[in-house]
Chain A
Amino acid sequence: MTPPRYAHFPMLLLYSFCAACVIGFLSRGSTASRIRSSLWTFISFVALAVAIAWLLYPFSH
């Protein structure tokens, strides 16, 4: 199957979602707290990646 035409951002979202699910559920506590932990991990992943991308933007030109 041919890989799709894609953009980096959806790939980042998918990568962050999967990684955050596992990392969040590895934490201790109730299911609700692990879901919260997953959510925060996901948001942190995406926010940091976008922040780093903007910081590196001047070097790409």
Chain B
Amino acid sequence: MDEPTLQNFAPSRLRVAILAGVLAWAVPGLGHLLLRRWIRACVYFCAVALMALTGYWLRGQVFTRHPVDGFGVLGFLAESGSGVFYFAAHRLERAGPDLSRVAGDWGTRFLATAGVLNFLCVLEAVEIALNRKARPR
């Protein structure tokens, strides 16, 4: 069977998919909430929030929009996936990163993983909105 292309979807469905994707990125789980997937929304928000907040607590490194090397680019791309938790970094990590201890290194991994996991949730929200995924909530 042929894979459906974007042209095959109704404009209204595409709009919902884009909105769900943007909301899911901005606030983890919000896209799923829009699509009435309550359990998933709750699980994704709690998991991503717990990871991001633990990362800030451990004083992991927050990569800025102006990275100095390739690793910084990857770090920024990964961490920016957590949406509101990334943009609130300066409030959540007031003391700044501390990579002199291994806790900071763990924190950086937590922050990056939170973003990457939320990107996966964004893709799922778009997929659900386009009705390409099974219905169970």
Question: Using a CB–CB distance below 8 Å, which chain A residues touch chain B?
Answer: 1, 3-4, 6, 11, 14-15, 18-19, 21-23, 25-26, 28-31
Contacts and interface: CB of A to CB of B under 8 A. Distances in A.
Given A21-B46, A26-B120, A28-B136, 18 more contacts: A3-B58, A3-B98, A4-B103, A15-B51, A15-B113, A18-B50, A18-B51, A18-B114, A18-B117, A21-B43, A22-B47, A22-B120, A23-B117, A25-B39, A25-B43, A25-B44, A26-B121, A31-B39
B110 A29 contact: no
CB-based closest 3 A-B pairs: A21-B47, A3-B103, A22-B117
Interface of B: 39-40, 43-44, 46-48, 50-51, 54, 57-59, 95, 98, 101, 103-104, 106-107, 109-110, 113-114, 117, 120-121, 124, 133-134, 136-137
